[in-house]
Chain A
Amino acid sequence: MIRNSAAEMAAKLNAGDITSVELTQLHLDRIASVDTDVHAFLYVNNEGALAQAAEVDAKRAAGEKLSPLAGVPLALKDVMTQKGVPTTCGSKILEGWRPPYDSTVVTNLKKNGIVILGKTNMDEFAMGSSTENSAYGPTHNPWDLSRIPGGSGGGSSAALAAFEAPLAIGTDTGGSIRQPAAVTGTVGVKPTYGGVSRFGLVAFSSSLDQAGPCARTVLDAALLHEAIAGHDPKDSTSINAPVPQVVAAAKSGDVKGMKIGVVKELNGEGYQSGVRSRFEESLELLAAAGAEIVEVSAPNFEYALAAYYLIAPSECSSNLARFDAMRYGLRVGDVDGASAESVMNLTREVGFGREVKRRIILGTYALSSGYYDAYYGSAQKVRTLITQDFNNAFEKCDVMVSPTCPTTAFKIGEKSNDPIAMYLNDIATIPVNMAGIGGMSLPAGLAPEDGLPVGFQIMAPAMQDDRMYLVGAALEAALLSKWGAPLLSKIPALAGA
């Protein structure tokens, strides 16, 4: 049962084959049995989830009309507030904090009767590509427990791959939904910026952050996408327009006549051979399905990483200033005679991890007087150039594609002392955030050399998110008929299971 897709689970709930309480309990049991090894969850809300499930069951029994995913369980990245449920963002500085309000995403999930199992592990304040920066210990990739599950949303993607939840919420600032999806063989979508409300998403980099759906199939992702997306007056940067028809697109999967642009600069040198071969194979399958493959160029993408590591730290240095020990969270050094300033300094020293401090200091520098134009100002100009590259390329194609990341999952600890090497993981995912457009990663198979999942990235113009689902569904169907079973059926069994 837990290996079903969310759509299949929803059908069984509808048919009365199982209740939401039973389905939720199955997942809670699964978490109890495997999460000691995987460590996808920071908090499991047993009572809350079962209560929510019972409510959905009662409504169903009363004959109320329910949303498509009503009663299906979900794992929530710990960066989203949920009223009364601990929200840490993977940081010591928020240990024990229980928000007095729901994020809009959580409000939408509850409205749709989607059962929230608990909060998933992440790199501290979403800064990282491996979940090793969590103050509560790393998450392990269910494909190989010695490897990283990607980051920052490694907890959400690992929970999907370990069958601890059929759905999850992630957030993507530079690839934090797509890269974990790629390295765990799951599907992750970063919608167009403004497509899903950021209200209640604890900000890392406000102009880049975007919440989105994580799932095991393209259709599941689309169903979750529709449940959480839409205009929110509480978020001034939310798009006030109808949500693209992503579910219809995921059901159609018709790519005949579509032009698919392969980004010249996001391939080749620096990309693992198995990543490249799976990518090429996917292109052939799409061509066979009737799409036209063209090559497009984006010459300024090579500056995206540099610009990202100026913009994101700058915004985070300001966003994280509120963690100051005055109103909530950790307080250190409040001894007799201590000043507020010294308590702030000590709390932030102890409460933040190394990567967070590194980025705060970098951002403080990039914004400081005398350096603003050279760093933050220049980075914003690069952002304009990247957007122009996308605009030019989308004149020649309907979607753009690339491998999601240069390599498959690396070993835990392998890159933790080399920030630059770690940053390079996001080289193919960052341009999408810089331009605010949509991006999807879905499994393209296993790399022959290490047997680990490879991700295929689809990028669509702003507010045309349905195009990613069209192409994603086509590729998923072609791969499924080639493999005969979903990729995750090949995942090694976990010890506890």
Chain B
Amino acid sequence: MTSLSRDDVANLARLARIEMSDEELVNLSKEFTVILDAVARVQEVAGADVQPTSHPLPLRNVFRPDVVVASLTPEEALSGAPAQEESRFRVPQILGEE
């Protein structure tokens, strides 16, 4: 039986960039005990001899010629921006790496 603690869920929420209240974290950790139990069934048949499938179709080597096509205009590109300045997307201060 797999379970996720409140703190485990909090760490996942941090990785997924979703703010969560304590109540939500506790609820999700409870739900996950049930859900993970159900989905863990995949391990019953996933033997080492079975190849994984990541694409439903056996396609290979699908390429595009190196040709420039028209971009959006800056107005179109920025049309959905919550904030903009000087043809750039304006975003709150970025912390961390430079």
Contacts and interface: CB of A to CB of B under 8 A. Distances in A.
A327 B83 CA distance: 8
Contact of A385 (B45, B77, B89, B94): B45
A383 B53 contact: yes
Interface in B13-65: 13, 15-20, 24, 28, 31-32, 34-35, 38-47, 50-57, 59, 62, 64
A307 interface: yes
B32 to A, nearest CB: 7
A366 B16 CA distance: 12
Interface string A324-341: 111111110010011111
A382 B38 contact: no
A237 interface: yes
Given A100-B77, A233-B64, A348-B17, A420 B56 contact: no
A191 B43 CA distance: 30
Contact of A362 (B32, B53, B59): B32
Contacts of A416: none
A115 to B, nearest CB: 25
B92 A365 contact: no
Interface string A432-462: 0011100000000000000000000000001
Nearest to A233: B64
Contacts of A208: 56
A361 B9 contact: yes
A310 B39 contact: yes
A341 B35 contact: no
Interface stretch (A131-139, A155-163, A373-381): A373-381
B93 interface: yes
A368 B89 contact: no
Given A309-B35, A420-B34, A348 B19 contact: yes
A236 B62 contact: yes
Contact of A340 (B19, B39, B94): B94
Contacts of B16: 317, 321, 348, 360-361, 364
A361 B13 contact: yes
Contacts of A43: none
**Main DSSP-derived SS at the B contact region:** loop
Contact of A306 (B9, B39, B51): B39
A237 B46 CA distance: 26
A100 B45 CA distance: 46
A98 B79 contact: yes
B95 interface: yes
B25 to A, nearest CB: 10
Nearest to A331: B82
Interface residues of B, number: 53
A334 B90 CA distance: 11
B31 A358 contact: yes
Nearest to A327: B89
Given A338-B92, A340-B94, A379-B42, A328 B53 contact: no
A357 B40 CA distance: 20
Nearest to B43: A378
Contacts of B91: 326, 340, 343
A349 interface: yes
A385 B92 contact: no
Given A237-B55, A378-B46, A462-B57, A360 B18 contact: yes
A401 interface: no
A271 interface: no
A309 B38 contact: yes
Contacts of B12: 361, 364-365, 368
B39 A334 contact: no
Contacts of A33: none
Q: Which 8 A-B pairs have the closest CB atoms?
A: A436-B56, A328-B80, A380-B52, A378-B46, A331-B82, A381-B46, A349-B19, A100-B76
Given A326-B91, A344-B17, A419-B35, 18 more contacts: A98-B80, A236-B62, A237-B55, A237-B57, A309-B38, A310-B39, A321-B16, A324-B17, A327-B80, A334-B92, A361-B16, A362-B35, A375-B40, A377-B52, A380-B53, A381-B50, A385-B45, A420-B34
16 contacts: A236-B59, A237-B57, A306-B40, A326-B82, A327-B89, A328-B80, A341-B95, A342-B19, A343-B92, A364-B12, A364-B16, A368-B15, A381-B50, A382-B45, A383-B53, A384-B50
Interface of B: 4, 8-9, 12-13, 15-20, 24, 28, 31-32, 34-35, 38-47, 50-57, 59, 62, 64, 72, 76-77, 79-83, 89, 91-96
